[in-house]
């Protein structure tokens, strides 16, 4: 008989990006989730002898509530499920499948599976600020992981892309710890303004640490070697990206991504610049993302497209 501890690595494993769907949250925002049927299939593969038991549905107000007891490898855990009996919006009601009791049962089963670690990694999507480096790293890994979703699957599921979703939901914070989606008002969206020479002289080394982070993230995709970055920085009178003022850092990021578009996607120099500007202007104008972050997001989206899709 398998020990539950031995099963945990398989139970907690992340599902393929294509297995995830999107749903809107009641309070706003969008959430990646995995349908309970797919979760059940994994349970069948890992431990076919799982057992389940439900209480009779109970109605409390406008909610139907069910309790599920799920047993895996001799260990039983509980999940509570609920579902609305009525919806104020007729359109919302039409989208529902099954009876309120059936939906509550499915919800309880799913939450019981989560008690064993299945899909628990999706909790990293919460809008709460990540306080530990481990949580921040896990969120970055999740965003990057979901970015692997192929373009056609993203279109079929109306998925705007993991990076875009992260900004819309406020998962990514700005330098002050505020949701990045609120850090730049649309009416104020503009390219970085030139910094006067006096201000540049007064900058201390490493005054823009986010520049190093963005260059590193972009370089992982474009394949540029560190000595190329260093040489570019030295030509501007500094040693590293963190010492570059914003408008110079923007030029560096643009040159890296534009060069990659030419070599990887077969675009001309002017075509690469035009494609980038179109993407970046859309991100800045419609989502309030600053120009530097927008370059990295544009690259993440473009790398998932075929050369033909990029040119179109």
Each domain of the chain, given as residue ranges in start order, spans 4-126, 193-311
Instruction: For residues 249-272, give the mean pLDDT.
Output: 93
Strands 30-33 and 51-54: unpaired
Condensed to tens digits (0 to 9), the pLDDT of residues 18-28 reads 899 988 776 66
Other residues' Cβ atoms within 10 Å of the Cβ of residue 236: 16
CA distance 301 to 268: 19
DSSP, collapsed to helix, strand or coil, labels residue 54 as strand
Condensed to tens digits (0 to 9), the pLDDT of residues 54-113 reads 999 998 888 999 999 999 999 999 999 999 876 555 455 445 667 889 999 999 999 999
Condensed to tens digits (0 to 9), the pLDDT of residues 220-239 reads 899 999 999 999 999 999 99
pLDDT number for residue 155: 67
Instruction: Name the residue with higher pLDDT: 251 or 143.
Output: 251
Residue 202 has pLDDT above 60, yes or no: no
Confidence label for 152 from pLDDT (cuts 50, 70 and 90):
low
Tokens of 3: 């020990």
CA-based nearest residue to 211, from 169, 179, 170, 239: 239
Residue 10: C-alpha distances to residues 17, 46, 59, 139, 142 (Å): 16, 7, 36, 20, 18
Handedness of CA 242, 247, 248, 253 (dihedral sign): positive
pLDDT number for residue 176: 54
pLDDT number for residue 261: 94
The backbone torsions φ and ψ at residue 16, rounded to the nearest 5 degrees and listed phi first, read -55, 145
Residue 195: C-alpha distances to residues 199, 211, 243, 249 (Å): 6, 16, 13, 12
Mean pLDDT for the chain? Answer: 80
pLDDT number for residue 131: 59
DSSP, collapsed to helix, strand or coil, labels residue 228 as helix
Other residues' Cβ atoms within 10 Å of the Cβ of residue 22: 14
Tokens of 309: 């899709």
Tokens of 59: 């109605």
Fold of 4-126: Enolase-like; domain 1 (3.30.390)
Cβ within 8 Å of residue 133, ≥6 positions away: none
CA distance 152 to 304: 10
Confidence label for 284 from pLDDT (cuts 50, 70 and 90):
confident
């Amino acid at each position: 008989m398998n020990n539950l501890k031995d099963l945990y690595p398989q139970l907690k494993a992340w599902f393929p990006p294509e297995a995830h769907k999107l749903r809107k949250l009641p309070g706003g925002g969008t959430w990646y989730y995995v349908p309970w049927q797919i979760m059940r299939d994994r349970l069948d593969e890992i431990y076919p002898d799982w057992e389940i038991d439900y209480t009779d549905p109970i109605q409390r107000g406008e909610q139907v509530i069910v309790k599920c007891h799920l047993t895996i490898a001799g260990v039983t855990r509980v999940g509570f499920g609920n579902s609305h009996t009525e919806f104020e919006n007729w359109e919302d009601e039409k989208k529902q499948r099954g009876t309120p009791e059936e939906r509550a049962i499915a919800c309880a089963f799913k939450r019981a599976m989560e008690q064993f670690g299945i899909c628990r990694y999706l909790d990293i999507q919460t809008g709460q600020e990540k306080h530990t480096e481990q949580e921040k790293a896990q969120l970055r890994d999740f965003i990057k992981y979901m970015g692997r979703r192929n373009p056609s699957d993203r279109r079929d599921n109306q998925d705007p892309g993991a990076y875009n979703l992260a900004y819309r939901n406020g998962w990514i914070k700005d330098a002050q710890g505020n949701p990045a989606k609120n850090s730049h008002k649309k009416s104020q969206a503009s390219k970085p303004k030139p910094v006067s020479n006096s201000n540049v002289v007064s900058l201390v080394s490493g005054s823009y640490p986010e520049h190093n982070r963005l260059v590193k993230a972009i370089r992982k995709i474009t394949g540029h070697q560190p000595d190329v970055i260093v040489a570019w920085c030295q030509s501007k009178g500094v040693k590293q990206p963190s010492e570059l003022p914003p408008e110079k850092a923007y030029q560096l990021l643009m040159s890296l991504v534009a060069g990659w578009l030419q070599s990887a996607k077969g675009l001309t120099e002017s075509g690469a610049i035009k494609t980038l500007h179109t993407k970046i202007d859309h991100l800045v104008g419609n989502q309030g993302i600053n120009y530097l972050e927008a370059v990295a997001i544009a690259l993440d989206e473009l790398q998932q497209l075929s050369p033909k899709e990029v040119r179109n």
